[in-house]
Amino acid sequence: MPTDYVNPLRDPRDKRLPRIAGPSGIVIFGVTGDLSRKKLMPAIYDLANRGLLPPGFALVGFARRDWANEDFSKVVHDAVREYARTPFSEEVWRHLAEGFRFVQGSFGDDDAFDTLAATLADLDRVRGTGGNHAFYFSIPPGAFPVVLQQLRRSGLADPHGDEWRRVVIEKPFGHDLASAQELNGIVNDVFPSESVFRIDHYLGKETVQNLLALRFANQLYEPIWNANYVDHVQITMAEDIGIGGRAGYYDGIGAARDVIQNHLLQLLALTAMEEPVSFSPAQLRTEKVKVLSAVRLPADLSASTARGQYAGGWQGGQKVIGYLQEEGISRSSTTETYAAVKLLVDTRRWAGVPFYLRTGKRLGKRVTEIAVVFKRAPHLPFSYTDTEELGSNALVIRVQPDEGVTIRFGSKVPGPAMEVRDVNMDFSYGQSFTEASPEAYERLILDVLLGEPSLFPQDEEVELSWRILDPVEAHWARQRGGVDQYVSGTWGPASADAMMARDGRTWRRP
Ligand SMILES: NC(=O)c1ccc[n+]([C@@H]2O[C@H](COP(=O)([O-])OP(=O)(O)OC[C@H]3O[C@@H](n4cnc5c(N)ncnc54)[C@H](OP(=O)(O)O)[C@@H]3O)[C@@H](O)[C@H]2O)c1
């Protein structure tokens, strides 16, 4: 049975004490890529800087470039200098960099994997990594199966005695339900399910975890968190940027597969689930699976979904080009850069309450939020003109940026008349806590090294999410006449506004 390092000074019941990873190392496949440079390398340094990695930690990079260990070390150094969250410490860096190795090779190359196995065996000896290795797949999804086969062939997937081997898989996990099931089959053939960590980096965000604290540590919200009081829920992830240099990845995937299938459905699950018996990984997963199983698409998908593609426009004072003009995108592409879906959750708690999910690129603002919008008070003992500017009460969890929670409610406008207008009450992480929030990848990489699976979606959750999205994709594939356009810097296509208007509602303008 693999065991984790146990800090003898730590009371395991005290979650406030720092959790420090035991002897271990991480191999990053695709280490020369964008994700690795901007997120993974800085997160590893930040963990080391916070004293959360073991003294002999090892980082092995694997890619095709002809780099020596020193070249690799220089690339990590530059990435850390540019993107790390915590201040640079020469001493921490020197210590960490002693554990860096680079293995050159292609995924189809048996010799490269044999070299990797020899490198890890050597690190076990000189750095004391104890045969505990995490394999991080920061690679094109098409390469997942071949790397898994290589790990099996070279024996790297098989721990001996108390050692552990874990695999970390980046999104996208499949392209639809069938491909996700196939991939789950391949992964589970090589690694047991408790050793598979599927990344949804949204779950590593403090604000997302705070959703559980907000709901289940307080008495205030849970009594009204249901169909008796909630009118609808809006979950938004808006980006103000375009696809950048990621045409190869994005075209053919689109906004719904890229964001709704994973991040937004996970946020829906955490918003709508019942209270878990405990926060153990199994109990948390049980509740998420229950709610994802209860999600239903409305019958008329033309009326309850919308998609669009950004056209040129202005953003942040700059003129920007449309999706079809981006480098590497076919002029006839029908990939959506905006997607909106209405979902229902068939449980007693949520009967009849729509959940509206939307995401898009080149929208008015970069913002991710969950807005729980409440029903109007059943009776307003005011004249109509007094409450003309009164909206609905709302509780908004601001996931990013400006992390926090806002409650919107009606308040009397100062003066002789009884005029009521919406005001906001704000909680802001930045103002309430002195500790800065760690980056999502810091939390998630540490959890992998600790063998803590709570924040990683399991195979069933991934498959249920595809089961929800597949009919929408099939519906869009059948539609003729291309995709609606929206001007960059606005809030999406007119069809998305029409979708809400049909229900007598409007999208929030965060
Ligand atoms: N970028 C992001 O912000 C982001 C966010 C979420 C998820 N992801 C996911 O994370 C993964 C990586 O994304 P990325 O943006 O970093 O990709 P990327 O910049 O295209 O990097 C891909 C990496 O894979 C390596 N690679 C490709 N084919 C290879 C082969 N046959 N043998 C050996 N190495 C090979 C490349 O190394 P060489 O060319 O040097 O050999 C490169 O290091 C993808 O699955 C993506 O969907 C990315």
Residue 472's closest CA among 243, 266, 298? 298
33 alpha carbon – ligand 1 mean position (Å)? 5
Mean local confidence (pLDDT), 407-417: 93
Q: Which residues sit with their C-beta closer than 6 Å to ligand 1?
A: 30-36, 63-65, 106-107, 138-141, 143, 170-172, 249
So which residues are the catalytic ones? 263
pLDDT score recorded for residue 2: 44
Name the residue at shortest CA distance from atom 32 of ligand 1: 106
Helix (H) or strand (E) holding 410: strand 404-412
Residue 361 marked in a binding site: yes
| Rounded distance between C-alpha atoms, residue 114 and residue 265, angstroms | 40
Residue 385 confidence (pLDDT) above 90: no
Model pLDDT for residues 245-268, shown as the tens digit of each residue: 888 889 989 999 999 999 999 999
From 29, 35, 115, 198, the mutation candidate for ligand 1 (largest count of ligand atoms within 8 A of CB) is 35
> What rounded mean pLDDT belongs to the chain?
93
In terms of pLDDT, which residue wins out, 442 or 382? Answer: 442
105 alpha carbon – ligand 1 mean position (Å)? 14
Mean local confidence (pLDDT), 318-341: 95
Model pLDDT for residues 120-172, shown as the tens digit of each residue: 999 999 999 999 999 999 999 999 999 999 999 999 999 999 999 999 999 98
pLDDT score recorded for residue 1: 38
**DSSP secondary structure of 356-401:** EEEEESSBSS-EEEEEEEEPPPS---S-GGGGTT----EEEEEEES
Model pLDDT for residues 197-236, shown as the tens digit of each residue: 999 999 999 899 899 999 999 999 999 999 999 999 999 9
Residue 64 marked in a binding site: yes
Relative to beta strand 354-360, strand 338-345 is antiparallel
**Cβ pair 176, 183 in contact under 8 A:** no
Q: Which two tokens stand for residue 83?
A: 């993107």
| Percent of the chain at pLDDT exceeding 90 | 85
**Cβ pair 133, 168 in contact under 8 A:** no
Relative to beta strand 196-198, strand 165-169 is parallel
Does the CA dihedral 447-451-455-460 come out positive or negative?
Answer: positive
| Rounded distance between C-alpha atoms, residue 438 and residue 205, angstroms | 8
269 alpha carbon – ligand 1 mean position (Å)? 29
Lowest mean pLDDT among 285-294, 379-388, 476-485: 379-388
Residue 288 marked in a binding site: no
* CB count in 10 Å sphere of residue 57: 25
pLDDT tier, 3 (very low <50, low <70, confident <90, very high otherwise)? very low
Find the farthest-apart pair of alpha carbons in the chain and give their distance in angstroms, rounded. Answer: 83
From 106, 138, 167, 258, the mutation candidate for ligand 1 (largest count of ligand atoms within 8 A of CB) is 138
Mean local confidence (pLDDT), 350-379: 96
- Model pTM? 0.93
pLDDT score recorded for residue 249: 87
pLDDT tier, 360 (very low <50, low <70, confident <90, very high otherwise)? very high
* CB count in 10 Å sphere of residue 229: 13
| Rounded distance between C-alpha atoms, residue 59 and residue 79, angstroms | 14
* CA angle, 85 then 86 then 88, to 5°: 120
pLDDT score recorded for residue 474: 97
Domains defined for the chain, CATH in brackets: 25-170 (3.40.50.720), 203-374+456-501 (3.30.360.10)
Model pLDDT for residues 371-380, shown as the tens digit of each residue: 999 999 999 8
Residue 476's closest CA among 111, 193, 176, 83? 176
From 72, 139, 251, 359, the mutation candidate for ligand 1 (largest count of ligand atoms within 8 A of CB) is 139
Residue 9 confidence (pLDDT) above 50: no
* CA angle, 102 then 108 then 112, to 5°: 30
Question: For the packed helices 459-478 and 281-293, what is the interaxial angle rounded to 10 degrees?
Answer: 20
